[in-house]
Amino acid sequence: MSKIRLGVNIDHVATIRNARGEKYPEPVKAALLTQKCGADSITIHLREDRRHIREIDLKLIKKKIKIPINLEIAATNEMVNIALKYLPNFVCIVPEKRKELTTEGGLNLNYNSGLLKKFIYKLKKKNIRVSLFIEPNINNISKSKNLGADCVELHTGKFCSLVNKNKNYKIIIKKITETSKFAKKIGLEVHAGHGLTYKSAKILKKVKNIKEFNIGHFLISDSIFIGLKKSILKFKKIIR
Ligand code: PXP
């Protein structure tokens, strides 16, 4: 089995920073640590409302990081122009709704497909690897290929939610497996992401043909429990 690449999504470092309006924790510091730990890429989602990552973060990360940067963006002129300005190695086009807590589903490839095709063409012309974040089904794979994407990222939210609730996930994992197989057959690289935890990643890594995982929320959350002890001990030393 070939090694699955790990893309670490550091958006939620920025979420914590923004909650207080302070400069810390700095996403660029998290990106440097991620790189040091051997991750294969850094994923950041520059949302239209800038609720976590900001353009300055993208600029700093681009300046300091040597591993590939995977920029997630909505399919808008503004976002594509930002991508063309900073030239990340990878772009993943995602759907975006203002009121959602997180990216709730995959792209609707029937909507504005002409514009999507134009954006993909523009990005690829600058040697940016383009991926489309989609729900796992065969129809979406064929459409992604026709639009000119290099890769697809399968939205694993529904699968992960079933795993978290200890419910039967057989049907959805079968769908992910079949979709991945078809995507590979027609020349699309397959990635997966959204909601992954240790448990769901362990199950999903057995699906053939998935080359890359993008993991954020759980990974940043769990780092609290891996690191909190050290921070408390450091504070105790300072104040006692
Ligand atoms: N992949 C894509 C395309 C995403 O939009 C997100 C969430 O921003 C992720 C992966 C990471 O999801 P999570 O933070 O739930 O691990």
The two structure tokens encoding residue 232: 């408390």
pLDDT in tens, 32-66: 999 999 999 999 999 999 999 999 999 999 999 99
What per-residue confidence (pLDDT) applies to 2? 67
Count of domains for the chain: 1
CATH code for the domain of 186:
3.20.20.70
For residue 215, the CA-to-ligand 1 centroid distance in Å is: 6
CA 224 to chain centre: 20
For residue 193, the CA-to-ligand 1 centroid distance in Å is: 5
Q: Which structural domain range is residue 31 located in? A: 5-239
- Contact yes or no for 126/104 (Cβ under 8 A): no
What per-residue confidence (pLDDT) applies to 144? 98
Burial class for 16, CB neighbours closer than 10 Å (0-12, 13-18, 19+): middle
pLDDT in tens, 110-144: 988 999 999 999 999 999 999 999 999 999 999 99
Give the global pTM: 0.96
Packed helices 55-64 and 77-86: angle between N→C axes, nearest 10 degrees? 20
| d(C-alpha 84, C-alpha 71), whole Å | 11
30 lines ligand 1 (CB under 6 A): no
What per-residue confidence (pLDDT) applies to 81? 98
Burial state string for 102-136 with b = 16 or more CB within 10 A and e = fewer than 16: ebebbbebeeeeeebebbbeebeeeebbbbbbbbb
Residues with catalytic roles: 45, 72, 194
pLDDT in tens, 181-206: 999 999 999 999 999 999 999 999 99
